[in-house]
Chains A and B, each alone.
Chain A
């Protein structure tokens, strides 16, 4: 499936992918400091494990720098 990560188009050979799996595959830096947006909406930390990504989704990994921690 085709998805967009941080504005860049990516192709995954998997049909089903959770956001937590995507965090590992994308080798996100400082994962404990990252916040996740799915199609422009904030995803709660407790929902990252079970939220599935589908064809055409846009995922953004955000950092606020400093004192924020998800």
Chain B
């Protein structure tokens, strides 16, 4: 049989152990502890020398099957499912860096990620060095012996900027540091992170993968491309664990100790969501382009920003990196914050809520919500304007979405 394609791989990922009842779905193992026949077996399992789940905070059959499905579609060396996208980022950064180390990133980040770097991890001695990552030539100058990684979002939220991933990868490889991509807006199916030289991918599976905001979750996907013997922090482990160095550090230390595990029920929901990921991506990306083109022509809206539009400075790079699927997030500006609010309040179908890649279309004013903890100057540096609206496009019938937007704009007159 030929090599399976994307959806077939998801649907036909084999269970590691045969289900006694022949279930086609991996059942929800909503239990905590697992029994072993002999004390010696339990000892071996704790030492990692016998395959077996011991305690669901560390591993669980339902969560494991979700991880295996993601591994099947990414061909990754290791996949870890965690409790949220933020848990994916925090677990990974804590595993690869420590006090006195630094990472290079952009200020154009998801608000909570910026807060994690600038507040939470800064207190523990990690320095985030900010630069415009769409200008890769400037990155090398910030790298020193304490630099552990370049961290970037494949499409920044809500600025919708797109960096040249292969250029960043070259810089990371030349300097033996890790290239980490947050691919929340461009999950596997849209973006092949391995092909573009990303070492480790993190994403919020709450978004596209969960199947319509059914549950909160995150993923760490290790492409197995980084030589861990070059990591000052992990080189001793690299000798013992080879390509599984990061997985070992997470599973047997950081992830285990922090306890940000994905619940078995959430893993079940996310596994179901994964089955229809390509179908939902195709529709939401097509809807986004239709709406973006409509907003470009509308009189009350301006600065429409969507990487699928010819007018976007990132149109060509989006085409190259994201297989003609430039995500389902777009922004546009109105005259004032008050007009943004009035427009949002007029909507009948589109929901006012903070999330993206829900099946429903959601609208948000980023400046007063996700970025509310920052002062005006910081928001300016982060590319967040008070006149900006973010639309996270869903899979409704596009005619209904256009009609709702059109009616709301007309009510403003």
Contacts and interface: CB of A to CB of B under 8 A. Distances in A.
A43 to B, nearest CB: 8
Nearest to A61: B49
Interface residues of B, number: 32
Interface in A7-63: 7, 29-30, 33-35, 37, 40-44, 60-63
Contact of A67 (B44, B51, B79): B79
A45 to B, nearest CB: 9
Contacts, number: 85
Given A67-B76, A68-B247, A42 B240 contact: yes
Contacts of A63: 48-52
B83 to A, nearest CB: 14
Interface residues of A, number: 24
A30 B49 contact: no
B345 interface: no
Interface in B34-92: 44, 47-53, 58-59, 63-64, 67-68, 70-71, 76-81
A6 to B, nearest CB: 4
B67 A66 contact: yes
Contacts of A64: 48, 78, 244, 247-248, 251
B242 interface: yes
B12 interface: no
B57 to A, nearest CB: 12
B44 A6 contact: yes
Contact of A66 (B44, B63, B240): B63
Contacts of A60: 49
Given A6-B49, A65-B59, A66-B68, 16 more contacts: A6-B44, A7-B49, A29-B51, A30-B51, A35-B244, A41-B239, A62-B48, A64-B48, A65-B58, A65-B64, A66-B64, A66-B67, A67-B70, A67-B71, A68-B79, A70-B244
Interface of A: 6-7, 29-30, 33-35, 37, 40-44, 60-70
27 contacts: A7-B47, A29-B50, A29-B51, A30-B51, A35-B242, A35-B244, A37-B240, A41-B239, A42-B241, A43-B242, A62-B49, A63-B48, A63-B52, A64-B48, A64-B247, A64-B251, A65-B64, A66-B67, A67-B67, A67-B68, A67-B70, A67-B78, A67-B81, A68-B77, A68-B244, A68-B247, A70-B244
Closest CB pairs A-B (n = 8): A67-B79, A67-B67, A42-B242, A65-B59, A63-B51, A68-B78, A6-B49, A66-B67
